[in-house]
Structure 1
Amino acid sequence: MLLFTRANLSILKTGKAKAVRLSTLEGICNALNCQPGDILEYTEEE
Protein backbone atom coordinates (compact mmCIF):
# COMPACT_ATOMS: atom_id res chain seq x y z
CA MET A 1 0.00 0.00 0.00
CA LEU A 2 1.34 3.40 -0.99
CA LEU A 3 1.02 6.17 1.59
CA PHE A 4 1.06 9.91 0.93
CA THR A 5 2.10 12.63 3.32
CA ARG A 6 -0.31 15.44 4.07
CA ALA A 7 2.30 17.90 2.83
CA ASN A 8 2.51 16.18 -0.57
CA LEU A 9 -1.28 16.00 -0.89
CA SER A 10 -1.50 19.69 0.02
CA ILE A 11 0.99 20.59 -2.71
CA LEU A 12 -1.05 18.65 -5.24
CA LYS A 13 -4.34 20.13 -4.03
CA THR A 14 -3.13 23.74 -4.21
CA GLY A 15 -1.68 23.31 -7.68
CA LYS A 16 1.87 24.11 -6.56
CA ALA A 17 3.29 20.79 -7.76
CA LYS A 18 5.66 21.08 -10.71
CA ALA A 19 5.50 17.32 -11.37
CA VAL A 20 3.82 14.16 -10.14
CA ARG A 21 5.54 10.80 -10.01
CA LEU A 22 3.72 8.08 -11.90
CA SER A 23 3.79 5.91 -8.77
CA THR A 24 2.03 8.71 -6.86
CA LEU A 25 -0.57 9.09 -9.58
CA GLU A 26 -1.08 5.34 -9.62
CA GLY A 27 -1.55 5.27 -5.85
CA ILE A 28 -4.07 8.11 -5.92
CA CYS A 29 -6.02 6.46 -8.73
CA ASN A 30 -6.02 3.13 -6.88
CA ALA A 31 -7.22 4.80 -3.68
CA LEU A 32 -9.98 6.71 -5.46
CA ASN A 33 -10.82 3.96 -7.96
CA CYS A 34 -10.49 6.37 -10.87
CA GLN A 35 -8.46 7.06 -14.01
CA PRO A 36 -5.81 9.80 -14.32
CA GLY A 37 -8.08 11.82 -16.63
CA ASP A 38 -10.68 11.94 -13.87
CA ILE A 39 -8.38 13.99 -11.63
CA LEU A 40 -5.97 15.76 -14.03
CA GLU A 41 -6.54 18.61 -16.42
CA TYR A 42 -4.09 19.90 -19.02
CA THR A 43 -3.73 23.65 -19.42
CA GLU A 44 -1.17 25.43 -21.58
CA GLU A 45 1.31 27.72 -19.88
CA GLU A 46 0.93 31.36 -20.80
Structure 2
Amino acid sequence: MKANRKKKFETYFKEYYPRLCSIAYGYIPDTESCEDVVQEAFIAM
Protein backbone atom coordinates (compact mmCIF):
# COMPACT_ATOMS: atom_id res chain seq x y z
CA MET A 1 0.00 0.00 0.00
CA LYS A 2 2.74 2.50 0.91
CA ALA A 3 4.63 1.76 -2.29
CA ASN A 4 1.50 2.51 -4.32
CA ARG A 5 0.94 5.77 -2.44
CA LYS A 6 4.55 6.81 -3.00
CA LYS A 7 4.26 6.03 -6.71
CA LYS A 8 1.09 8.14 -7.01
CA PHE A 9 2.78 11.03 -5.22
CA GLU A 10 5.78 10.83 -7.57
CA THR A 11 3.44 10.82 -10.55
CA TYR A 12 1.55 13.88 -9.29
CA PHE A 13 4.79 15.67 -8.48
CA LYS A 14 6.29 15.07 -11.92
CA GLU A 15 3.06 16.07 -13.65
CA TYR A 16 2.15 19.19 -11.68
CA TYR A 17 5.43 20.60 -10.34
CA PRO A 18 6.47 22.48 -13.52
CA ARG A 19 3.01 24.00 -14.00
CA LEU A 20 2.69 25.02 -10.37
CA CYS A 21 6.13 26.65 -10.52
CA SER A 22 4.97 28.63 -13.55
CA ILE A 23 1.86 29.80 -11.73
CA ALA A 24 3.86 30.72 -8.63
CA TYR A 25 6.30 32.68 -10.78
CA GLY A 26 3.43 34.92 -11.80
CA TYR A 27 3.15 35.98 -8.16
CA ILE A 28 6.77 35.65 -7.02
CA PRO A 29 9.23 36.60 -9.76
CA ASP A 30 12.09 34.64 -8.21
CA THR A 31 12.65 31.11 -9.48
CA GLU A 32 14.20 29.76 -6.29
CA SER A 33 11.41 31.14 -4.10
CA CYS A 34 8.77 29.71 -6.45
CA GLU A 35 10.34 26.27 -6.28
CA ASP A 36 10.46 26.49 -2.47
CA VAL A 37 6.78 27.45 -2.28
CA VAL A 38 5.71 24.60 -4.55
CA GLN A 39 7.88 22.07 -2.72
CA GLU A 40 6.39 23.19 0.60
CA ALA A 41 2.92 22.70 -0.84
CA PHE A 42 3.77 19.15 -1.83
CA ILE A 43 5.29 18.48 1.60
CA ALA A 44 2.03 19.63 3.17
CA MET A 45 0.20 16.96 1.18
TM (normalized to structure 2)? 0.31
Structure showing greater radius of gyration is 2
The structure with the greater share of residues assigned to helix is 2
TM (normalized to structure 1)? 0.31
